[in-house]
Amino acid sequence: MTKEETSFERDDMQIDGHDTERLQVGKIPGGFCAEHLKVYYGKLFPYADMYRWLSYGNDGKHPACDHSYFARREISYTFENDIFMRYQSFNNASDMENSIRDKCPLKIDIGPVYSVEPSKRHAYAQSGNNVFVPVERELIFDIDMSDYDDVRYCCSGADVCLDCWPLMTVAIKVLDTALRDDFGFNHILWVYSGRRGVHCWVCDGRARRLSNEQRSSIADYFRVYKGGENNVKRVNLTGQVLHPFLARSYTNVLKGFFEEKLLTVQNLFAYEERSQKVLEIIPDESIASELHDRWQGNRRSSISKEDVNVVRWEQLKHVLQSGKQKGLRRCVEEIVFTYTYPRLDVEVSKHMNHLLKAPFCVHPKTGRVCVPIDPSDCDNFDPTTAPTLSELLEELNNSMRSESEEEWERTSLGKSIKFFRSSFLSPLLKSCKEEMENLYNSKAKQSKNALDW
């Protein structure tokens, strides 16, 4: 293979401070080679489904279809050494497929729909008018397990296990319920990031058309946890009563998870430094000192670690909720929120022009596919069993294909693609068709009324 065949055209735009460069196809980090990824993109990646999703019904023959819609969507590629190619755009599914197969990116990110085709933005820039602006984008959320490192003790950084992963499950439950019940959104896609977190795509028409200000308002609605190393108390719940959203989240999800799982699994009170971290959240130093001294005096007791966690939590609750110290009853809820409430990267949600990794990508560090998660069954999602590239290729090699089968149906990826189609894509496209029909009829009626007048 010659250099000319393996290099890509330079794009002078930047992402995260990196210029794109001429590239060579090489070995991929994470233990698999470029040839494996080529097989995945050649046989398993669901191009047609991705195209239908990102077209939102505009790929049909209805007179209301905007056939430029998909072509105005930004697709970004990432290659080895964090080299990026931004502002890729394609006219149709075939163009997108040919490009991905040819360039074989380590990662694919999805950006907004712009006012003009991203790949032709330079031509419009020469006119002197600022016409290249984002006009649509899914409302997105990014939750990363590494942001929970101060409240999990089983793992840190990019590592996850079944002891800490339920924190992501709690985040899905809290946000999914609020997005549906409080904001009325219906078409929500949850996706495993492939390594240490989850992504959320809210795809309703009115979600895609939100302004940056409206996105910021929604992000602030969910913002309870405020990080920062110098911030000992990172959750402040103000007011006489909790906001209905917070009260529902606390009662239905957070309290039970904290007391029944996190408390004992992470041994929050079984070690001095861990229990001290909880006590630091209590604003009254005398109360915190009283509890600390009591626990220090009981260090030689024969209570098991699991029982120590439960006993000390009950003691803490009793002291704080006894009513003797005004203003401390809310502190129990603040502790629970500190340890369990979703920790969002709010900047990702606030601005329309943020990129987010595409579903069904292969994570270059783990080799795991970014598969959808069913929010109604998220308790049973196990990130350690998400399909890996090597497993999928082995399944392809060891199975026979019938003429009526797609390649992915022979692998463990089939379940994820079928879920994406049936539970997310089909209802979404049905809704898009209805919205398009209603808008078309409304405009036709207005036009008729104007003629009649």
Tell me the DSSP string of 86-117.
Answer: EEE--SSHHHHHHHHHHH--SEEEEEEEESS-
Own/partner long-range contacts of 209-213 (Cβ < 8 Å, ≥24 apart): 209/136, 210/139, 210/352, 211/352, 212/350, 212/351, 212/352
Most confident of the ranges 190-194, 279-283, 361-365: 190-194
The model's confidence at residue 208, banded by pLDDT at 50, 70 and 90, is very high
Residues 405, 318 within the same domain: no
Residue 26, number of CB atoms within 10 A of its CB: 12
User: Which of 306, 340, 374 delimits the end of a domain?
Assistant: 340
**Has residue 316 been placed in a domain?**
yes
**Has residue 357 been placed in a domain?**
yes
Residues 244, 208 within the same domain: no
How high is the mean pLDDT of the chain? 88
Residues 258, 379 within the same domain: no
Q: How many domains does the chain have?
A: 2
Q: Which residues make Cβ contacts (< 8 Å) with residue 182, sequence separation at least 6?
A: 221, 245
Whole-model pTM?
A: 0.89
Angle formed by the axes of helices 305-321 and 329-340, to 10°? 140
pLDDT of residue 304 exceeding 80, the answer is: no
The model's confidence at residue 23, banded by pLDDT at 50, 70 and 90, is very low
pLDDT value at position 231?
58
**Has residue 167 been placed in a domain?**
no
Residues 201, 350 within the same domain: yes
pLDDT value at position 236?
78
User: Which of 340, 358, 374 delimits the end of a domain?
Assistant: 340
Residues 306, 325 within the same domain: yes
- SS3 call for 292: helix
Q: Which residue has the higher pLDDT, 275 or 130?
A: 275
Between 10-14, 27-31, 219-223, 281-285, the lowest mean confidence (pLDDT) is in 10-14
Residues 356, 319 within the same domain: no
Residues 358, 334 within the same domain: no
Buried b (16+ CB within 10 A) or exposed e, 204-216: bbebbebeeeebb
**Has residue 155 been placed in a domain?**
no
Residues 427, 282 within the same domain: no
Q: How far apart are CA 24 and CA 7, in angstroms?
A: 5
Residues 8, 124 within the same domain: yes
The model's confidence at residue 273, banded by pLDDT at 50, 70 and 90, is very high
The CATH number covering residue 81 comes to 3.90.920.10
Catalytic annotation, residues: 74, 142, 144
Residues 215, 68 within the same domain: yes
**Has residue 451 been placed in a domain?**
no
What mean pLDDT is predicted for residues 385-399?
93
Residues 217, 301 within the same domain: no
**Which H or E run includes 18?**
strand 18-19
Token digits for 170?
A: 């709690």
**Has residue 452 been placed in a domain?**
no
Residue 57's domain spans which residues? 3-143+185-221+345-443
The model's confidence at residue 350, banded by pLDDT at 50, 70 and 90, is very high
**Has residue 266 been placed in a domain?**
yes
Residues 48, 197 within the same domain: yes
Token digits for 399?
A: 């199975």
Q: Which amino acid is at 436?
A: M
**Which H or E run includes 75?**
strand 73-79
- SS3 call for 420: helix
The model's confidence at residue 3, banded by pLDDT at 50, 70 and 90, is very low
pLDDT value at position 322?
79
Q: How far apart are CA 311 and CA 210, in angstroms?
A: 48
pLDDT of residue 414 exceeding 60, the answer is: yes
pLDDT in tens, 34-55: 889 999 999 999 999 999 999 9
Token digits for 121?
A: 């933005």
Q: How far apart are CA 293 and CA 371, in angstroms?
A: 48
Q: How far apart are CA 159 and CA 320, in angstroms?
A: 35
**Has residue 172 been placed in a domain?**
no
Residue labelled with tokens 């047609």: 48
pLDDT of residue 81 exceeding 70, the answer is: yes
Could you give the dihedral angle defined by the CA atoms of residues 186, 189, 190 and 192, in that order, rounded to the nearest 10 degrees? 180
The model's confidence at residue 448, banded by pLDDT at 50, 70 and 90, is low
User: Which of 340, 362, 381 delimits the end of a domain?
Assistant: 340
